[in-house]
C-alpha cells in the first residue's frame, strides 16, 4: 500500500501572529515557520502504518514556495520515503490546493491519503473533503483512530455526540484529529538521512491545473482587544449587571 500525506508550511504555533500595517495580510517577515501540527499527526500515522507492515511507501507532498522543502525534509526525517513539492508562490485557496492534490493523487495512485483536518493559519477545514469530492474517494474526517483491514479502513471519528466508526473502501481520504496520536521527534541520524531522500519538484502547469482563484481578500484585521473585567461583591449584584447593563438575561 502507498500512502500519500499532504503537509503545509505555516507560522509556528508558538508565534504571535501580526497583521501588516496596510491590512493586506499577515506579516511573515522573519517569522518562524513550521509544519502544520495536524499535518505532523498525519505523517506520524502514515509512518506507524508503515512500521506495522500495512504500508510499503509513504509519500509526502506540499504546495507552496521553495521554502516548503524544509517541512518536506522534516517529514522525511520522521520516516516518510520520498517527497513531492508543487512549487507555487501564489496565495492558493482550499479549492486550488485540492485540485493540485487531486492531480498528484492521479499521478501517484495511493491507496490512502492522510492529511490534517485543518491548517492553523486559515482554519478552513475544507481541503480533505474537497479532495474526496474531486477524486470520488470515500472519506473519514476528524479521525481519532485508523485501522486498515485488507481493502478497507475503519475510521473512528470525533463528532459532537461522541465517537462514530465508519468503514471505508480503499482508496480513501482520512483527515486527522488531535487525539489520533502523538508525533515523534526526528532523531539526528534520521535528519541526516532525510537530506539524501528523493524530493521531486513539480509546477501547477506541469500537472495541468489552473490555480486561478475566485476569492479575493479585501482586508485582514487583528481581533479587537477585550475590555477589562470587573469584580462584583454578591450574586445579586452580578444578576443586576447581567440584566441591566449587559442585557443578557
- 62-90 pLDDT, tens digit each: 999 999 999 999 999 999 999 999 999 88
Q: What is the mean pLDDT of residues 49-67?
A: 95
Residue 76 pLDDT: 97
Residue 90 pLDDT: 87
Q: How far apart are CA 188 and CA 130, in angstroms?
A: 36
Of 224 and 45, the structure prediction assigns the larger pLDDT to 45
CB 131 within 8 A of CB 231: no
pLDDT at 184 over 90: yes
Strands (E), the chain: 2-7, 9-11, 33-35, 57-64, 82-87, 112-116, 138-149, 152-159, 162-169, 172-176, 199-202
CB 15 within 8 A of CB 124: no
Q: What is the pLDDT of residues 5-46, one digit of tens each?
A: 999 999 999 988 888 989 888 888 889 999 999 999 999 999
Residue 26 pLDDT: 86
Residue 134 pLDDT: 96
Q: Which is the CATH superfamily of the domain at 2-244?
A: HUPs (3.40.50.620)
Helix (H, G, I), strand (E, B) or coil at 173: strand
pLDDT at 175 over 90: yes
Q: Which residues contact 226 (CB under 8 A, 6 or more apart)?
A: none
The fraction of the chain above a pLDDT of 90, given in percent, is 76
pLDDT at 191 over 90: yes
Q: How far apart are CA 34 and CA 67, in angstroms?
A: 11
Question: What DSSP state is assigned to residue 33?
Answer: E
Q: What is the mean pLDDT of residues 33-62?
A: 96
Q: How far apart are CA 241 and CA 171, in angstroms?
A: 57
The domain ranges of the chain are 2-244
Q: What is the mean pLDDT of residues 90-95?
A: 89
Residue 164 pLDDT: 94
- The full length of the chain comes to 249
Sign of CA dihedral 117, 88, 93, 107: negative
Q: Tell me the CA end-to-end span of the chain in Å, nearest whole number.
A: 58
Global confidence as pTM: 0.85
Of 166 and 247, the structure prediction assigns the larger pLDDT to 166
Q: Give the cell for residue 226.
A: 477585550
Amino acid at each position: 500500500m502507498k500512502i500519500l500525506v499532504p503537509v503545509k508550511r505555516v507560522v509556528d504555533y508558538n508565534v504571535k501572529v501580526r497583521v501588516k500595517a496596510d491590512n493586506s495580510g499577515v506579516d511573515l517577515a522573519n517569522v518562524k515557520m513550521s509544519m502544520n501540527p495536524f499535518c505532523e499527526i498525519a505523517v506520524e500515522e502514515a509512518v506507524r502504518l508503515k512500521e506495522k507492515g500495512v504500508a510499503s511507501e509513504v509519500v509526502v507532498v506540499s504546495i507552496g514556495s521553495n521554502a516548503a522543502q524544509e517541512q518536506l525534509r522534516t517529514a522525511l526525517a520522521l520516516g516518510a520515503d520520498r517527497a513531492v513539492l508543487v512549487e507555487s508562490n501564489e496565495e492558493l485557496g482550499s479549492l486550488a490546493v485540492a485540485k493540485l492534490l487531486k492531480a498528484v493523487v492521479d499521478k501517484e495512485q495511493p491507496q490512502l491519503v492522510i492529511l490534517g483536518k485543518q491548517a492553523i493559519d486559515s482554519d478552513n477545514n475544507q481541503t480533505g473533503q474537497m479532495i474526496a469530492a474531486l477524486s470520488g474517494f470515500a472519506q473519514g474526517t476528524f479521525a481519532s483512530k485508523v485501522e486498515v483491514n485488507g481493502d478497507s479502513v475503519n475510521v473512528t471519528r470525533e463528532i459532537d455526540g461522541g465517537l462514530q466508526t465508519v468503514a471505508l473502501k480503499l482508496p480513501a481520504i482520512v483527515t486527522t484529529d488531535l487525539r489520533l496520536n502523538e508525533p515523534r521527534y526526528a532523531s539526528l541520524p534520521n535528519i541526516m538521512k532525510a537530506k539524501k531522500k528523493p524530493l521531486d519538484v513539480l509546477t501547477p502547469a506541469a500537472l495541468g491545473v489552473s490555480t486561478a482563484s475566485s476569492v479575493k481578500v479585501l482586508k485582514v484585521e487583528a481581533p479587537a482587544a477585550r475590555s477589562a473585567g470587573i469584580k462584583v461583591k454578591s450574586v445579586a449584584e452580578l444578576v443586576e449587571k447581567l440584566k441591566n447593563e449587559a442585557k443578557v438575561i
